[in-house]
Amino acid sequence: MRFIDEATIKVAGGHGGPGCISFRREKFIPRGGPDGGDGGDGGDVILEATVQLATLQDFRFRREYKSENGKHGSGANKAGYDGNDITIKIPVGTIIRDADTNEIIHDFVEDGEKWVAAHGGRGGKGNAHFVSSTFQAPKFAQDGEAGGVRHLKLELKLLADAAIIGFPNAGKSTLISRISAARPKIADYEFTTLTPNLGVVTLPEFQNFVVADIPGLIEGAHAGRGLGHSFLKHIERTRAFVHLLDGTKFLEDATADGEDSFERAIEELVRRYTVIRNELGLFNEELLHKPEIVVLNKLDVLESNADLVERARQALRSRIAGIRGVHPDAHEPYVISAATGAGIEPLIYAIYAPIRDARNGESKKIVTVAGQSPRGTVLPDDVSIRK
Ligand SMILES: Nc1nc2c(ncn2[C@@H]2O[C@H](COP(=O)(O)OP(=O)(O)OP(=O)(O)O)[C@@H](O)[C@H]2O)c(=O)[nH]1
Ligand SMILES: [Mg+2]
């Protein structure tokens, strides 16, 4: 469930400043010696790895990086200032290749690691440097060296920060296509998605995260039923998951005949929610401790019945707390339409919050229900799942 993000950039070190040709001129010293200072060195282009970035998106907008040139040397043996270095931040995990030969020239593995991608040219020597016992008055100085230029290919294996999980047909692929540039197949039948899709979700101020659309999970997935099993291991490495429920499937029926059918619809949703939680827990207990965001999708279908949607949301809210052992956040379950885009923006920020916290080295404060630890619920044997 990895895909490769790539970018090609040109980096150029600053040129060295030229050395200076100058002779000392002072009153009463008729023939002062040479005193031309050296030019400053050009700045370097430095790449620095950071855990704050997750993708190479920023390089779509800017592909050329040049650091500052060194300044001229001047008289009285004054050296020119060195040009400033520039530092470009890249995500940890980025591999650097020479774009011409494709050879790997650097591999960033640690936060804060720095590497000079293009050296600045050395400043030229001023004429004061060229004095010798037989050559007292050199009338020349060196030019600054040109800065190094390189074409680099940046490669990053993307790892999903968040996974969208749920039953087949819940609208997972529709959601990822709504919030990222990913364009997976979407269709009104189960198991449309056979392998995970990844997409980059972009937020203001160059913040972003990677989301994965996981093939539908069904009961028994932990033991290999359906398709989801081989992908559950990828969820282990994400920082949060979005648990998508198809809200219409049952609630539509609930409009038909009264309170009984409403209760049944809620039960059905809760059951499906529980089935997925159990599959996660049976696969790996740790998964139950990850931040989860519960979402009711396809609510455009029930747009004309806002009361029903709100009642269902409230009913599910309290049930989620009981099953998960962790209190819902203020808006859970998020009510959205992946198809129309309604409700998507607050959801994106809710997904991003635990990812941002993890990147900053903090873990999200999970508020557990009194006396419980995060968990799934063991279902009785006779529970049947309506498809
Ligand atoms: N009305 C409505 N339909 C939706 C919405 N989101 C998804 N759908 C429809 O639901 C069906 C399934 O959507 P997908 O995105 O393929 O579902 P999935 O969860 O990826 O399904 P699998 O890949 O089979 O697990 C498609 O016909 C979508 O058009 C929504 O918000 N509103
Ligand atoms: Mg799909």
Secondary structure of 211-279 as H, E, C letters: EEECCCCCCCHHHCCCCCHHHHHHHCCCCEEEEEEECHHHHHHHCCCHHHHHHHHHHHHHHHHHHHHHH
CB atoms closer than 10 angstroms to residue 29: 9
Q: Is 348 in the pocket of ligand 1 (CB under 6 A)?
A: no
Going residue by residue through the chain (387 aa), what tens digit of pLDDT does each one get?
446 678 999 999 999 999 999 888 877 776 778 899 999 999 999 999 988 887 887 887 889 999 999 999 988 889 989 999 999 999 888 999 999 999 999 988 888 999 999 999 999 999 888 888 888 888 888 999 999 999 999 998 777 899 999 999 999 999 999 998 888 889 888 888 877 788 889 888 778 898 988 888 888 877 777 766 667 776 777 899 999 999 887 777 776 666 778 888 899 999 999 999 998 998 888 889 899 999 999 988 887 788 888 998 999 998 998 898 888 888 999 999 999 999 999 999 999 999 998 888 765 555 556 655 544 433 333 333 333
CA gap 318, 326 in Å, rounded: 10
What is the Å distance from ligand 2's center to 216 Cα?
7
**294: Cβ–Cβ under 8 A, 6 or more apart, which residues?**
243, 245, 273, 316, 320, 328, 332, 333, 334
pLDDT at 156: 86
The side-by-side arrangement of strands in the sheet containing 240-246 is 197-203, 207-213, 162-166, 240-246, 292-297, 334-335
The Cα 71–Cα 15 span in angstroms is: 9
Residue 376: the pLDDT is 42
> How far is the centre of ligand 2, averaged over its atoms, from the C-alpha of 306 (Å)?
27
Instruction: Check if CATH label 3.30.465.10 holds for domain 159-359.
Output: no
- Determine which residue's CA is closest to atom 32 belonging to ligand 1: 298
Taking CA atoms only, the protein residue closest to ligand 1 atom 13 is 171
177 touches ligand 1 (CB under 6 Å): no
Task: Check for a shared fold between 3-157 and 159-359.
Answer: no
- For ligand 1, whether the C-beta of 160 sits within 6 Å is no
67 lines ligand 1 (CB under 6 A): no
Residue ranges of domains in the chain: 3-157, 159-359
Q: Is the CB–ligand 1 distance for residue 252 below 6 Å? A: no
Pocket test for ligand 1, best of 164, 173, 242, 302 (most atoms within 8 A of CB): 173
- Is the C-beta atom of 300 inside 6 A of ligand 1? yes
Q: Find out whether the beta carbon of 191 lies less than 6 Å from any atom of ligand 1.
A: yes
Given a contact cutoff of 8 angstroms between Cβ atoms, the answer to whether 356 and 364 are in contact is: no
CATH of 3-157, one of 2.60.40.420, 1.50.10.10, 3.30.70.2080, 2.70.210.12: 2.70.210.12
119 in contact with ligand 1, CB cutoff 6 A = no
What confidence score (pLDDT) does residue 252 get? 75
Ligand 1 neighbourhood includes 253 CB (under 6 angstroms): no
Q: How far away, in angstroms, is 175 Cα from ligand 1 center? A: 8
Dist. CA 261–CA 255, nearest whole Å: 8
Take residue 288 and report the two structure tokens written for it. Answer: 């139950």
CA angle 53–59–60, rounded 5-degree value: 120
Terminal alpha carbon distance of the chain: 27
What separation in Å is there between the alpha carbon of 193 and the centre of ligand 2? Answer: 4
